[in-house]
Amino acid sequence: METSLDIYSVLNDTEVLKSGHEFAEMMTWYKCAIMEVETKLNVLNQEFSLQYDRNPFESIKTRLKDPVSIVNKLKRKGLEISVDSIQENLHDIGGVRVVCSFQEDIYKLARMLGSQDDVSLLRIKDYIKNPKPNGYRSLHMIIAIPIFLSADTKYMKVEVQFRTIAMDFWASLEHKMKYKKNIKNPEQIVARLAMCAETIEQIDLEMQSIRSLIDKE
């Protein structure tokens, strides 16, 4: 259960953190790391397209965690509010979301990305094979990737999430509805969303099966 936080304290700590040159510099490094990962995925997309005559993903979305969210997370975890603490303890400052057509392509892309010489795979969580209780499905990878600066090389962590179109649709709507206030019968809503997630999983598998049949012809 998340700890209730004083919003004024969060905002004050956020302003203090943002005022430092080190924080701005660190966020620039994360931006560069995101660009590196996005470039790598686009290159893999082109190579995959040449080999298999189709593109493995539909879209890529990137995001940099905002300072308020960063401070919130550190406070919830009871961690120090500092640049060093952020880099050591938080793995999702830089995020890349890859939306694929088929589950099979998710695992192929993840293997291809994780096996590159300059990519270090730090952690992987497979919420497709082991979905969360609410029905959430996605493949999460935490990787470390080098960025080459004028004076030195930095290794930055980036979270890469892989989803199918159906998984992304479900997660987006679930996220929006989760923050609605005064919902009647919340248990019923949770149960129905979980059922929708199961239905979407079956649709994903059926679409993959159909594609396999087409490829054999």
pLDDT tens for residues 16-31?
899 989 999 999 999 9
* pLDDT tens-digit series, residues 117-129: 999 999 999 999 9
What is the per-residue pLDDT for 49? 87
Average pLDDT over residues 195-201: 95
Average pLDDT over residues 102-112: 95
What is the per-residue pLDDT for 76? 93
CA distance linking residue 180 with residue 197, whole number of Å = 19
* Count of other CB atoms within 10 angstroms of residue 163: 27
What is the per-residue pLDDT for 77? 94
What is the per-residue pLDDT for 4? 56
What is the per-residue pLDDT for 185? 81
What is the per-residue pLDDT for 114? 96
Q: What is the dihedral of CA 125, 129, 135, 139, to 10 degrees?
A: 40
What is the per-residue pLDDT for 2? 44
* pLDDT tens-digit series, residues 41-93: 999 999 988 888 888 999 999 999 999 999 999 999 999 999 999 999 999 99
* pLDDT tens-digit series, residues 159-192: 999 999 999 999 998 888 777 767 778 888 889 9
pTM of the model as a whole: 0.90
What is the per-residue pLDDT for 27? 96
Q: For residue 104, give the nearest of 216, 217, 206 by alpha carbon.
A: 206
Q: Are 85 and 79 in contact (CB under 8 A)?
A: yes
Percent of the chain with pLDDT over 70: 97
**Whole-number mean pLDDT of the chain?**
92
CA distance linking residue 106 with residue 199, whole number of Å = 19
SS3 per-residue string spanning the chain: CCCCCCHHHHHHHHHHHHCCHHHHHHHHHHHHHHHHHHHHHHHHHHHHHHHHCCCCEEEEEEEECCHHHHHHHHHHCCCCCCHHHHHHHCCCCEEEEEEECCHHHHHHHHHHHHCCCCCEEEEEEECCCCCCCCCCCCEEEEEEEEEECCCCEEEEEEEEEEEEHHHHHHHHHHHHHHCCCCCCCHHHHHHHHHHHHHHHHHHHHHHHHHHHHHHHC
Q: Phi first, then psi: give them for residue 148, nearest 5 degrees.
A: -100, 105
Q: What would the two tokens of residue 199 be?
A: 């239905």
What is the per-residue pLDDT for 150? 92
Average pLDDT over residues 139-163: 96
What is the per-residue pLDDT for 217? 67
What is the per-residue pLDDT for 40? 97
